[in-house]
Every structure is written in C-alpha cells, then in structure tokens.
A and B are shown apart, each in its own frame.
Chain A
C-alpha cells in the first residue's frame, strides 16, 4: 500500500503493528514490515507503533492525486443540532466539485440523533453521509473524534476535507491533518479549485492586515477550516439522491483519555466590548419609543443596545452601555447608529468597527464621515422596517433548521 510508510531507522521490528492489524495486511519480512493489498488504511498500526515509525505518507505526485477524489465535509453538531457552518461548507464544496467533477460527501459524528441529522443533510445535495452514532460520542473529545473522522477519511480517500473553523473544528482539524501527514489551512475566507484538484485557499494573517494564498500541492487530502458566515449556504435540491451510510464505532474509537464531567450552555452576559453587533441610540432617538425601537432591533439582530453620552446623562441607559471617551471603546462586526450626531468623542471609540451604518435625519451630521453605509432619513421609519426584515429572515432560518 503506497500511502503507508515505515521509518526503517525507527522501526525495531517489534511486530506490534502486525498483531494489531485487523485485516492481516502487515507482514514481517526479512527486510522489514510490508503492507499487503488487504490494508484498509484504518490507521490502527499508526497508533499502535511504540516507535512512531509508521505514518500515512501523502507526498503526492499527479498520479496519486487521481486516487484521492471528492470532497468530505466534517459536520459538527452542537447540542444535538447541526452547526449551520456545515451548510455553508456543503455549498462551497458543491461549487468547487462541479468544476472538477467531484462528489460532495459528509461525515457526521455524535450521540443519539446523529443518524437522523445525517438524513437531514441529504436535501442539500450531498452524495453520501457517513454517520457515526455512539453514546460515547455525545460530547466532543478530541481523541475519539479524530479516530472517527480518520476512519472515514482512510476509507473514502477524499481529495479535500472541509471543517468549520469553530472551536471544535479548529481543535479537530490539526489532529487529523497531522495523522495523515498532510497540510491544513486554518480559517479560510475564500476557496477555489484548480483543474488539477489543488485548492486555492485564501486566509487572513497578521490580525487580518494581510491575506495569504496557500496551496497544498504535494499532499492529500487537503485540509481546510472555514470561518462561519463567510461562504454561501447550500441550496436545497428538489430530489435528493444521496444516501446515509451508518458506520460502526468500534470500542477502540470510543475509548478516550478524556472524561467529560459536564457540558452545558452558559449564557454568560457579554460585555459591550465583546459584542459583535451593537445598535446605538443617540439624541435623535430621544424618547421612550425611539429607544424601544432601537432595543427591538438590537434584540432581533442578537446584539446589544448602547447609548451616547447625552442619552446616558438623560437616564436612558447606564455607563456600562455608553460608547465614547467617558464610556467604552468597541469594535464590533456591525454597529448601527440611530440618531447619533457623531462627535469625535464618540466616533474615536467605535471607528474601528468592521461595518458602520449611520441613520440620521441631518445630512450634515458628522457621523456620515465615519460610516460605511449612510442613510439620511428618519430612524422611526427605518429602524422598525429593518427589525421586521431581520425577524422574517430569522423565522425562515428557523424553519430551515428544524428537523
């Protein structure tokens, strides 16, 4: 088997791998250990070897690339629900797969309900979903999950493996790429594929000050983690043709050095500085109704409401929710200022935000100089409609996710 290599220097011919191989593929010959045709690339020998002399060797030439085909998406579950980044990964993989004639497969691992969730994935146009359901996989444990995903990768030999750049994904992916002795690009924000099946991976580095284009040209599979909410979600297909393959979780895979004592959702109250979406009520919103409209918008968008200094002085909010030199400095993903004039004491404490929207009736308002998107209009007209649109979309997403 050409993908399994022995480090002759490190190998002591102890024979543990030969005993461990469930397929009888390893043989002790005069010149060392050889791998026969029955090898299924299960990786048991790689883990068993006390000298770590066996690796998956993925240095690929063009011919080897032919042997590693299709996309494999690792589908994460959070509290029994499919993490939505999976739909985005499927969407992106389907786009790339169409260019090179590949299929898109998924692997999903977890506790009870995993097979059910696997069936749910089919409507997104995937070919096969490999499901590993076992009570020991209910919680994420890096060692078990690596064994399970590696089992699937070894059996299916994908050209590329895409994993969400979540905490779970970023903990799992480096173990997998290391086990297969291949490359991994973290946190990709853009993916494409060349005709020779090499992915074109783009990721930010140096705190986002520079973009790097990364290639994994000589190894397979290519691993990439992709940030959530960067790619387009896959469209559902009218007549799904894929199938779910229920895979066996062996005791070996389920065994772990990690014992999970508790796992719960802790709704920690986020400080304003950690918030990703902020709606600011300024003097233009100065009435209970105006503030309430802004609060509704913040709530619908899943963010927090903040205030300018005059609003806090007039008792609409507390200083913990005040943005400005005498309050907090924030740099969220999105900040929507409603009726904020934009004094320098305010703008200097929020101008690093990724997206700034300003709504103000006064076309001369300073805030428009800082904003990316400017709306010269009455916030009482804009804010309620924006809230309604966001609510509507939230409902649609919920429908899409309920299994």
Chain B
C-alpha cells in the first residue's frame, strides 16, 4: 500500500497589508507553518498505514526551506519526504501546481491512495486535490469527514456535501481530500525525531520529472493570472437607523436582504 500525502508550507499568519499607493501586497511575515488542514491528511494516512501496512510519503511543491515541514512529518511517522523544488515551478496556479504534483507522484511510481487537506490557508481554493485526481484519471472524494473502512483494495469514506452526508466506497487508486476534525492529528514524537534526524528529504527538480514540456509548469503553465490585489472595502459601523419602529425595522430588513445576509 502506497500512500502519498500532499502538503504545503504556508505563511504563519493570514494578515496582509496592501500598500495603498502601489496597490501591491506588502511582504508577508516570513514565518511559515504547515498548512493546518494538511495535518489531518497526514494523520489520516498514518492511521490507514496502521491498519493496512505500507509506506506514507509526504510530497510538497515549494522552496527548499519546506524541509523543516518535512522533518516534522518524519517526527510524526512519515516514511519518505519529497520536495518538488525548482524555480521553473514558481508562480503556479491550480492547473500547473496540480500537474507538477502529479508528475512528482509519477516519479514515486504512482500511489494507491493520495490524501490532501481540504484546502490551504493562503490560497483557500480547495481545488488542487481534485485537479490532481483528474490528471491521474482516478476517482476522488472531497470534503471527507471520516474513514468508515479501509482495506488493501478500497476505502469507504463519509463526505459532507451541503445538507446531505454521503457514504461511498472507492477502489484504489483514488484521491481523497479530508476535512478538519476528521481525526486528531498527533504531535511530533521526540523519539521519532531523534531516530529520523539523519533521514534525508528528497529534492526533485524540473529535470527529474517525466514530462519535460516547460509550458506545463509554473507561471507559463498557469492559465489564470492575478491582475491586481486590493484591500476589501471597510464595513460601515454604527449606522443608526431612523424613523419610527416600523420604519426602522423595514430599513433593517432591507439592508439585511440587500446584503444577502438573510
């Protein structure tokens, strides 16, 4: 059983400042952390490995400094860690990011099960997981809130889709994206940390990937482009509604419906 967990190192905070004159984003805090949703993905993988045996490989695309995150994953129990790192991968949107990760999985010799977190805290798109599944032509289940059953050939997952809860059985190979609260992520263990201190993190660059067509990667391979960034409009505070009780109520109702709050 080969399980690949896709992870991402994200900025530690989500506070962003915009330079009001140039309209560009001021540099984010340089502190990073593991995308919190990915911890649930890693934990899910480790729990499945306890049942079925196999290898858990963590995979990320990003700068070499993602090694710190991979070391943490080792200390949690991951077997292998691979970073896809190359300047040619920079500026990637969903399509080229998912393609690069798919190529990385090919280098690893494929996977029976790929697990992603539901989304990242910086991009917030929740799209990379399903996009990887499409590149690989395998089925996927997103928003998985629990694993009902798993064996060597298939997995049974519970998904929350709007008002309904769906339970599905999917044969391997497949991909799932797991929601938070689907499990309780373990903390890195000191013993494992000591034991894995010398374990290397594998770095793959553009030259290591099977498809050498540059137009599939990074900025060039990205059909979407950010045209500009700007601060969201400030919300008004302390608006006093005027008139008699009826008029005030009607005014409030109109505001709430116009703003689609109710």
Contacts and interface: CB of A to CB of B under 8 A. Distances in A.
B130 A386 contact: no
Contact of B160 (A167, A213, A257, A393): A167
B133 A183 contact: no
Interface in A259-287: 259-266, 277
A368 B232 contact: no
Interface in B140-199: 140-143, 156, 159-171, 174
B137 interface: yes
Given A142-B133, A209-B14, A390 B232 contact: no
Nearest to A373: B239
Given A214-B224, A373-B252, A174 B128 contact: yes
Interface residues of A, number: 89
Contacts of B227: 200, 213-215
Nearest to B246: A385
A99 interface: no
Contacts of A185: 224
A179 B134 contact: yes
Given A219-B223, A263-B167, A389 B124 contact: no
A229 B260 contact: yes
Contact of B127 (A10, A184, A382): A184
Report the contact-size class of chain B (Cβ under 8 Å from the partner).
35 or more
B55 interface: no
Most A C-beta atoms less than 10 A away, residue of B14, B170, B224, B239: B224
Given A205-B122, A230-B260, 11 more contacts: A78-B163, A143-B140, A178-B134, A210-B25, A210-B232, A215-B224, A258-B168, A261-B167, A262-B166, A354-B235, A371-B237
Interface of A: 7, 9-10, 47, 52, 58, 78-79, 83, 139-143, 146, 166-168, 170-175, 177-179, 181-187, 200, 204-219, 229-230, 256-266, 277, 301, 333-334, 354-355, 357, 368-378, 381-382, 385-386, 389-390, 393
Give me the 10 closest cross-chain CB pairs, A-B, nearest first.
Answer: A183-B223, A381-B245, A174-B127, A257-B139, A183-B224, A219-B223, A178-B134, A207-B14, A186-B125, A171-B142
Interface of B: 14-16, 18, 25, 93-95, 98, 121-131, 133-135, 137-143, 156, 159-171, 174, 211-213, 222-232, 235-241, 245-246, 248-250, 252-253, 255-257, 259-262
